Homo-oligomer: A and B are copies of this chain.
Amino acid sequence: MKLTSKGRYAVMALVDLARFDTINPVSLRDISLRQGISLDYLEQIFSKLKKNQIVKSTRGIQGGYILSKKPNEIKLNNILNAVDEKVKTVQCKKESKKGCNGKATKCVTHNLWDELETHINTFFEKKSLQDLLKNNSERVN
């Protein structure tokens, strides 16, 4: 299972977007400066976010990105999946028809990781961008 910087950056960038895209599209350059994330890396991330219809882009001067849905409709789950940060635990090698590791039965931890995945996914399905926005504005900067 993995949850790394890419996922964190994606979330940070989208929260930034949600705060600033109300009038004009927001350029990655601005996000890069505000959030301290490499522009080149942001481009990779936004390419994936776009493919997954989380953001829309406008080219040219004054171009940039906007959210394609309302903040409360974008769940963290969607974001993390989009950037390939699927919550997936180590799979048992070659789960053949019946069991794991070539055994006849599933290994004892098999169901455990399944449960964990569900547990974590539930967490992320409940959280939306909107939730993070609230959280952020409550804090007095």
Contact = CB atoms under 8 A, between A and B. Distances in A.
Give the contact-size bracket for chain A: 35 or more
A74 interface: no
Question: How many copies of this chain does one complex carry?
Answer: 2
B119 A123 contact: yes
Given A2-B2, A15-B108, A103-B36, A123 B116 contact: yes
Nearest to A104: B141
Interface of A: 1-5, 8, 11-12, 15, 35-36, 76, 89-90, 101-109, 111-113, 115-116, 119-120, 123, 127, 132, 135-136, 139, 141
26 contacts: A1-B2, A1-B4, A2-B2, A3-B89, A3-B113, A3-B116, A8-B89, A8-B90, A8-B109, A11-B109, A11-B112, A12-B108, A15-B108, A35-B107, A36-B103, A76-B112, A105-B141, A106-B139, A108-B132, A108-B135, A109-B132, A115-B123, A116-B120, A119-B120, A119-B123, A120-B120
